[in-house]
Amino acid sequence: WQITTSPATSTQLVDEIAGAATASSELTGLTSGTTYTVAVAAVGVAGRMGVTGTSNAVTLPVAPDPITDLGIVSTRPSRVTIGWTAVANAATYEVDRGNGSAPTQQTTTRVILTGPEYYTMYTASVTPIGADGTRGPTATVDYWIEDPVDTCVLPPYKQICP
C-alpha cells in the first residue's frame, strides 16, 4: 500500500499484513491546524499502482496553549482561591482539586478550593481543553487549607492575636 497526504508532507509504503482484512498506518510529520486529505493506493509486485482511494478533508486539532501563571490568588480561613490567565484555543478548563473530589469542567479562570483536611498539602491541577476536546498541557499548584478555628480573628469579638 502507498499512503500519501495532501498537502504533501509524507509518503509511506505500508506492507500488506498477510491474512488481515484491514491494514493501518500512523502518519507522522503532520502539522496541527492544517487540513489534509489522505490517499491510499494498492502497489503491485512490479510497483504498479492500483485503484486509489481518497479520504474526506480532515483538519488536525490545535491543542490549547499551556497555562504559565497558575497560582494562589487569595487565602482565607477554610479556603484558597487559585487563578490563571485564559489561554489561546481553550474552550474550558478541567480542574482537579487534588483533595479526592472529582475533576470539574469550567470556563472561568478562578477556583475556590476547600479541604477536606486542614493543614494538609494538596496539589491542584488545571488542564486547558479545546472546543474539539484536544487537551493542552496540565499546570499544577500546591496549597493547604487553614483551620478557621486556629485563626487570630475570632468572631464575634474580632479579637486579633498578637
Of 35-49, 73-87, 126-140, least confident by mean pLDDT is 35-49
Are 1 and 43 a contacting pair, CB within 8 Å? yes
Q: Give residue-wise pLDDT tens across range 67-112.
A: 999 999 998 888 899 999 999 999 999 999 998 899 999 999 999 9
How far apart are the C-alpha atoms of 59 and 32, rounded to whole Å?
8
Among the listed residues 71, 64, 38, the one whose alpha carbon sits nearest the alpha carbon of residue 127: 64
pTM equals: 0.67
